[in-house]
Structure 1
Amino acid sequence: MVLPMSRATRVAGRLMPEISLLRRGRKSAARGGDDAEVEVSVPANFVCPISLEMMRDPVTAPTGITYDRESVEGWLARGHDTCPVTGRPVRLADLVPNHATRRMIQDWCVANRARGVERVPTPRVPVGEDDAEEVVAGVSAAARRGDVAACGAAAATARALGRESERNRRCLAGAGAAHALSSAFGLLAGEAPIVEGAVAGALGEILAALTVFFPLDEECRSCIASPPSLKSLASLLSHGGELAARVSAAVVLRELASSGDRHALEAIARAHGMCDALVGLVTSPVSSQATKAALVTAYYLVSSGDRAAARFAELGVVPAAVELLVDADKGTSEKALAVLDAALCADAGVESARAHALTVPVLVKKMFRVSDMATDFAVSALWRLCRAGASAAPCRAEALRVGAFQKLLLLLQVGCAGVTKERASELLKMLNGSRGSVECIETVDFKGLKRPF
């Protein structure tokens, strides 16, 4: 029988040293040193048969073949259950650290340090099933006792281990880490709905650990979406003290809102102070990650119904999104435009947008040079502002003045489809009647615009 990787194994000893040799030679030459011509050849027994790279964490299978841990665990995770070289059965639990080979590799790296070879660090011992169960049990036990400090410490341990490697993350997830953390958050939140001090720190650690084990299943979402938990989340978002806790709270809320769980979304919308806290993160950003997460959550909430859209419009999400768009990056622009377009489904949102001097210029500016998604939302939002009513006339005139007509023509020429094409065509018809009486300026020039701040 011809084994699938046997040929790769036979050539590894010849191929990999030459590849490494050329790489080292180029690096040395680039530095302009005296050793530019020195050749560094990696010994064949240091090369992983799968990756054809020097091993950093060698492990040996029962078949006697040594692999780099990351490579062979990835092989097994993809559904294989045999040794890549011999074809004999092998399991993850059968892999044994090869300390002798690892020390030889480290010694070789040290001996060749002058040639630019970096020492391979000693790998951390991966989490086993028993260790994972012990960590998860520690989180649950501390939460049941109401021991805030111990629960936060156990959650921090779970987070650190889960972030060390994908293998650790899967092992902890299999031991029920997400369920334990969600339940712990619910227990501590129920005891102290207004979070501060040590409780805020522990809840922040739990949320930070929970982000490592996304996506959350229905049971986990149910724990986090309970009224006491959501009240604590809103409190963390508003005045959670540490920045990390506020960011983690925003990220977990985004996970709930974007999961497609209707019950969780409705619970978030009903939670006292939640909408205010989300708009606050957009109005007064604390970090880019928190702002983007808040925008995604706000989008799902605003899109859930007219009542939610009206509520967010009353809280000032429209001017907040417009101000954010002036200097936003691509990701933030897409999310802010999505929120703005959804908020314009409510009359209060339209009134708020028409009252802001920068709304139309910013929308016209964002039609191009951001992304197709941003273009879709910008055209849709401008269409909502210009389509009907006597109060729409100033918006149409402003759109013409900042170059919307030319950009819409270009957009149709370049190509767009579906709803965006229909709305761009309708906008052109709306704007066509006023073209002769309006002077056009460059859309990027905001100097002549009266800003409300």
Structure 2
Amino acid sequence: MASARRKQRFISRLPFAKRISIADSPAAELHVPAAFRCPISLDLMKDPVTLQTGITYDRRSIETWLETGNLTCPVTKQALKDDDLVPNHSLRRMIQDWCVAHRSLGIERIPTPRIPVTPAQVLELLSGVSFASRRGHHARCRELVGNFKALGKESERNRRCIVSGGGSRVLSACFSELATEACEKSRAALMEDILSALTVFFPLDQNSCHQLGSHKSVDFIVSVLQSGDLDARLNAVLVLKELVSSLPPERIDVLAKTNGLIEALVKLIEKPISPRSTKAALVAAFHLITSGEKTAARFVEMGIIPTVLEAVVDSERSLCEKALAVLDGTLSCSRGREVAYGHALAVPVLVKKMFRVSEMATEFAVSALWKLCKNEKKEGGGRGRRGECSREAYQVGGFQKLLLLVQVGCNGATKEKVSELLKLLNGYRASLECAETMDFRRLKKSF
């Protein structure tokens, strides 16, 4: 009781400057003691820590200051010999007591912050994971992997500490070793947990990607994509996207030959489980498709073109960009163009998406249409009449949109393709009428 009174007397002597609006009465404001405010952000401190200079700051503010290369105390300007941050428990408790005392005015109590993980703790946890994995103690290993994931999600500081301590490399190495062992239920559950934990520590370094890119590791990832539960499939496709985004083209081309990989990705796009998984699958498919024409042709045979065309029609910007990128990639191969020539939505969708999505979507849409129109004469258009693709592009408003692109401006490569397309479509101006590109009701779908 006496201690509480002493705290209250101490608080009452503190200077006041910052004010907080009271929720119940917007016109009223509550003064915040100056000692409770961070000298950097001037906001009420949630996790006060003290530097060696004796000045207390909110942890997030001073960490941001130090991470930008500042090696001095912001208030005293003294040089810092180390960046150790000592939690100021006494001040934190006084801030919490002040919040509780003003709870009736709409002030919420600041929760007690968790102590950040240290490099020594990370090293100890990593050693435990490696030891448990080698000894086949799958239950213990799952527990430690779960701890890693929880720590990484707890704060950005913890995540960086684990990454710098080699957390993703150790987890990837364990995953690769487990992939070579005999299949059993506990091992599969542990590997799924590792995939889940790895998603917290993106981007993965080259060493981690090398481990995950082994033949056995990719085989397991594919098996999860095919038969795992929703969360496991999401984690698997996120890791796969990270993997193919980091590997060189020759390694991606080898990875693309994994049995069932292409089929699993196409199925995930065709029957999405979540927007995040669909976007990750599209990015992974794009990297695989652009690694070689044979891989692109395999995606075409699995039905990727009608799948992405339907995805583009009513999708939001980010998904639309990725789907157009995949479509543009598949049209680099003759088999892809053959399928697109025979699909009723191909040209209208590409013309429609030239505008009002994003600059990136415009580039992919123009590139895809250019590939179709440029090659249709020598490939016969795929519909039995040469020039059919260019004719349709003009009829659905492609010529007008290309002219607008020239007026508003576009980058060099896209500008050249726009110019070529305008020359190809210009011949139809005297004989054809232009239809409204937004009206697809008159089109007969090929599916």
Normalized against structure 2, the TM-score is what?
0.90
Change (3 A) 1:125 1:92: farther
Contact 1:200 1:236 (C-alpha < 8 Å) held by counterparts:
no
Change (3 A) 1:262 1:118: same
Partner of 1:232: 220
The separation in 2 between residues aligned to 1:37 and 1:178, in whole angstroms, is 51
Change (3 A) 1:437 1:147: farther
The separation in 1 between residues aligned to 2:426 and 2:84, in whole angstroms, is 73
User: Which residue of 283, 296, 310 maps to 1:296?
Assistant: 283
**CA-CA distance at 1:204 after TM superposition:** 2.4
1:413 and 2:443 matched: no
Tell me the secondary structure at the aligned position of residue 66 of structure 2.
helix
**CA-CA distance at 1:87 after TM superposition:** 3.2
After superposition, residues 272-351 of structure 1 pair within 5 angstroms as 272-351=259-338
**CA-CA distance at 1:359 after TM superposition:** 0.8
**CA-CA distance at 1:344 after TM superposition:** 0.5
Contact 1:200 1:245 (C-alpha < 8 Å) held by counterparts:
no
CA distances 1:86-106 after superposition (whole Å, capped 9, x unpaired): 233446663221111111101
Partner of 1:180: 170
Contact 1:203 1:245 (C-alpha < 8 Å) held by counterparts:
no
1:114 and 2:104 matched: yes
Contact 1:363 1:378 (C-alpha < 8 Å) held by counterparts:
yes
Partner of 2:390: 396
Change (3 A) 1:329 1:181: same
Partner of 1:442: 436
User: Which residue of 209, 226, 236 maps to 2:197?
Assistant: 209
1:73 and 2:56 matched: no
CA distances 1:206-238 after superposition (whole Å, capped 9, x unpaired): 112112222222221111000000001111112
User: Which residue of 416, 419, 430 maps to 1:425?
Assistant: 419
Pick which of 83-92 and 181-190 moved more: 83-92
Change (3 A) 1:262 1:432: closer
Q: Unpaired segments of 5 or more residues in structure 1?
A: 1-12
Tell me the secondary structure at the aligned position of residue 450 of structure 1.
coil
Contact 2:250 2:291 (C-alpha < 8 Å) held by counterparts:
no
User: Which residue of 180, 191, 196 maps to 1:190?
Assistant: 180
Tell me the secondary structure at the aligned position of residue 256 of structure 1.
helix
The separation in 2 between residues aligned to 1:264 and 1:256, in whole angstroms, is 10
The separation in 2 between residues aligned to 1:436 and 1:91, in whole angstroms, is 78
Partner of 1:48: 38
CA distances 1:75-134 after superposition (whole Å, capped 9, x unpaired): 222223332222334466632211111111011111112222121111011112222122
User: Which residue of 62, 65, 72 maps to 1:82?
Assistant: 72
The separation in 1 between residues aligned to 2:431 and 2:289, in whole angstroms, is 37
**CA-CA distance at 1:49 after TM superposition:** 1.2
CA distances 1:285-305 after superposition (whole Å, capped 9, x unpaired): 111111111111111111112
Partner of 2:50: 60
Partner of 2:10: none
Change (3 A) 1:149 1:92: farther
Identity among equivalent pairs (%): 52
Amino acid at match of 1:222: H
Partner of 1:4: none
The separation in 1 between residues aligned to 2:206 and 2:102, in whole angstroms, is 53
CA distances 1:31-62 after superposition (whole Å, capped 9, x unpaired): xx5x4443301101101112211100111222
**CA-CA distance at 1:346 after TM superposition:** 0.6
Change (3 A) 1:231 1:92: farther
Pick which of 342-351 and 306-315 moved more: 306-315
Tell me the secondary structure at the aligned position of residue 75 of structure 1.
helix
Contact 1:76 1:92 (C-alpha < 8 Å) held by counterparts:
no
Amino acid at match of 2:170: A
Change (3 A) 1:85 1:423: same
User: Which residue of 124, 128, 131 maps to 1:134?
Assistant: 124
The separation in 1 between residues aligned to 2:408 and 2:76, in whole angstroms, is 56
Partner of 1:3: none
The separation in 2 between residues aligned to 1:347 and 1:84, in whole angstroms, is 62
The separation in 1 between residues aligned to 2:70 and 2:101, in whole angstroms, is 37
Tell me the secondary structure at the aligned position of residue 49 of structure 2.
strand
1:382 and 2:372 matched: no
**CA-CA distance at 1:198 after TM superposition:** 4.5
Change (3 A) 1:313 1:115: same
Partner of 2:246: 259
Contact 1:256 1:264 (C-alpha < 8 Å) held by counterparts:
no
Contact 1:65 1:85 (C-alpha < 8 Å) held by counterparts:
yes
